[in-house]
């Protein structure tokens, strides 16, 4: 019998883009680790962009593949980090979204800078549609269920001293598995315990004026399902996302 540590041929994982032997623990494991770390380092090529999901005043959202973990993610780039107001909004969105721990807030995976010095962060890719595109198809009961889930996510944010300030159906993503996610926190305001802004900090809009719409697509909007998959809404659109020519990182 062969070495029990060696995977059987029929159960051996398929090689990844890192190399033909990268899935094995072998004498070349050190080089494999270096390859992985290189992809994870700033300026690396860990995320391969597939298609643009949305573009707005504050940034661009792409569907991408994490080449290290082999999963699809949503990647959001800052539109113009040289502008202090937009850079502050982008940083606010990263900190707020990454700091809220609730099923109704999209999960942030990573925050980095590309080769051109443009900051970006990656989020869980959710197959779904904005609530604004589903309202006319839903029954009153379905609408109330989504509204309740949104209220729960917003209540969690308020308990952490965070105001969304741009809450609307277009910024709520309804996933194919019934998840309801509040997205686009770039205009959020972070309050201190007394109900005001922390010392030395401005809100995400760079002032106290009314928020302006961002226009980006919620994380993962691309070929998704209606609300929700467990109900009678048609599921004929299910399938792999459209594969477009990879767009260059910006």
| Among 166, 184, 192, 203, the one annotated catalytic | 166
Measure the CA–CA gap between 54 and 73, rounded to whole angstroms. 14
CB 95 within 8 A of CB 103: no
Measure the CA–CA gap between 209 and 187, rounded to whole angstroms. 11
* Active-site residue, 66 included: no
Q: How far is CA 198 from the centre of its chain?
A: 27
Phi, psi (rounded to 5 degrees) for 190: -100, 120
Q: Which of 69, 66, 64 is nearest to 77 (CA)?
A: 64
Region of residue 200 (left: phi > 0; alpha: psi -120 to 50; beta: else): left
Q: Is 111 helix (H, G, I), strand (E, B) or coil?
A: strand
Which residues are annotated as catalytic? 166
């Amino acid at each position: 019998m062969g070495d029990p540590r060696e995977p059987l041929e029929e159960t051996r994982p398929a090689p990844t883009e890192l190399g033909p032997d990268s899935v094995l623990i072998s004498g070349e494991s050190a080089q494999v680790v270096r390859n992985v770390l290189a992809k994870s380092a700033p300026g690396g090529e860990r995320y391969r962009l597939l298609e643009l999901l949305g573009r707005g005043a504050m940034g661009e959202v792409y569907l991408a593949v994490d080449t290290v973990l082999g999963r699809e993610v949503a990647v959001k780039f800052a539109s113009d980090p040289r502008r202090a107001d937009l850079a502050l909004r982008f940083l606010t969105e990263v900190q707020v979204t990454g700091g809220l721990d609730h099923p109704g807030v999209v999960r942030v995976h990573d925050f980095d800078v590309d080769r051109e010095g443009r900051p970006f962060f990656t989020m869980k890719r959710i197959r779904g549609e904005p609530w604004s595109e589903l309202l006319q198809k839903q029954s009153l009961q379905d609408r109330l269920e989504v509204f309740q889930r949104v209220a729960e996510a917003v209540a969690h944010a308020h308990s952490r001293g965070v105001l969304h300030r741009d809450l609307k159906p277009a910024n709520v993503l309804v996933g194919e598995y019934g998840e309801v996610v509040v997205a686009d926190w770039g205009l959020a305001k972070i309050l201190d315990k007394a109900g005001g802004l922390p010392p030395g900090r401005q809100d995400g809009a760079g002032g106290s004026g009314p928020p302006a719409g961002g226009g980006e697509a919620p994380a993962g909007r691309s070929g998704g399902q209606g609300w929700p998959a467990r109900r009678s809404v048609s599921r004929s659109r299910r399938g792999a996302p459209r594969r477009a020519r990879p767009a260059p990182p910006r």
